[in-house]
Amino acid sequence: MKKLFTSIILAVLAVVGYAQTNPNRMLVTDKAGVTKGFMVDRIDSVSFATVEGRVAADVEYLGIYSGSTGDSVGVKITRTPQCVGYKITCMSKVRASSLSTDEAVANYLDNSDSEIMFQDYVNGRLSNLGFNLRPNADYVIFTVGYDKYQIPCDVVRVDFRTPKKELAGDCSIQYTIDEVTTSDITISFTPASGVAGYAAILFPAGTAEDNLAQMGPMFGLETMGDYARFFGFNNNGPATNTWNNNNPGTDYEIYVQAWDENNTDADIMIIPVTTKKIGGEGVAQIEITPGEFGGTAETGYYQIVTYTPNDQTSMHRDMLIDKNAYEKEWNEDKIMEYLKTDIPEDPYWNQYGVDVAYWNVSPNTSYIAFSIGQNINEEWGPLARLDITTPDAPAAQKKYSAPVMKRGLVKNAVTGNNTVPMQMLYKALKAAKGKMTISEK
């Protein structure tokens, strides 16, 4: 460790000594990816220090307390000997899911407007939360401890669930599954007399919580009931709803949230449904045919490839790979292993019926299209292959030559490793601006 510190010091001194001919900024980046910069000619010295033990404010959840100015959270807070002060916050579990590491939590709290607390609490009340606590909902308390150098250090997390609230009447809902086809699900709902309203939403089985964790922070949704109300089918009386354009042979879950006249949510109800399969018990085979090459240098070039399954195919998966990359790193066994691997986060991975795919490509480049399918018994058929070489870029191009994509996107061809590029949607969680306070009771 001493050798490491010595090396770092020498490196910093080297930068300071040669600031006129070398980079004149010193950048320090933490594990959360946050960078703090300094002008080298303003640095007086660089040194290291040691703080032994945890620097943390340990938290114990004591319950929820209601008052005339709103709800408060009961907490016991005990600082470790090296913890001079701490910041604290409370948020929904959904919002907390955006803070996936201790480094992210520490940066979030350090950049917030919350005041640093300097005392322990035996029976404290955390108030001025900036939001109303929902009954029967999950929340998280975070603290980050500060050492004598005012550095945010150890993070403590405590999860808790608020108690249920009694409903004003019978909020049950009866339902009948009227029809299920290969793509459509029709359900009729009949609410009880105490239901002031209800909402229903469909998810691929097992994905509801992930959807809430991803979309909840973006839209201020704290519970699955919030998600159903915001994105789902809403009604307050007997009604029938059809969910269209679902995948064949796929398990789904319909979440139904009812609430009473006081807007209190009942327990959520989950209805499992499986769409009917397509295909047969024979061999699943795919025909691959090349289509149009087009695009511009400004918009990007595309190659259309059509993957047509036979009538025995229930589901198939398709790809396009640069031939040079294939010959360096892949073979047909690896291709089959990759295509047989489930990728639930990719909504276009499983294909049903004809797939007219638009691929991002380069002109005058050789590619290989692959596809493999399953029959109705989930038995894999043979691997289909087609070699394609894109033509040279056209000498003259129309200004608006990019096509209207069938699925709203252009697929990426594999160009150099064993992972197909995937696009994920993220949104940063901004630091809280409220003045959360603690008082002793």
Which one-letter amino acid corresponds to residue 229? R
Which residue is listed with tokens 């319950």? 63
Which residue is listed with tokens 């807070």? 77
Angle, CA 247 vertex, CA 241 and CA 248 arms, to 5°:
100
Confidence at residue 78, expressed as pLDDT on a 0 to 100 scale = 96
**Residue 3 CB contacts under 8 Å (≥ 6 apart), including other chains:** none
Which one-letter amino acid corresponds to residue 364? N
Confidence at residue 21, expressed as pLDDT on a 0 to 100 scale = 62
Contact 370, 307 (CB under 8 A): no
Partners of residue 233 on adjacent β-strands: 200
Rounded to 5 degrees, φ, ψ at 211 are -65, -40
Cα distances from 36 to residues 26, 27, 207, in angstroms, run: 8, 6, 38
- Tell me the residue length of the chain: 441
CA 410 vs. chain centroid, Å, equals 21
Confidence at residue 45, expressed as pLDDT on a 0 to 100 scale = 80
pLDDT along the chain (441 residues), means of 10: 47 50 82 81 82 93 84 94 95 90 93 91 90 91 95 96 94 97 97 97 94 89 94 96 94 97 95 96 97 90 95 96 93 95 88 94 95 96 97 61 40 47 32 62 68
Q: How far is 112 from 95, CA to CA, in rounded Å?
A: 15
Q: How far is 252 from 272, CA to CA, in rounded Å?
A: 6
Rounded to 5 degrees, φ, ψ at 40 are -60, -40
Contact 19, 26 (CB under 8 A): no
pTM strictly above 0.85: no
Q: Tokens standing for 376?
A: 């109705």
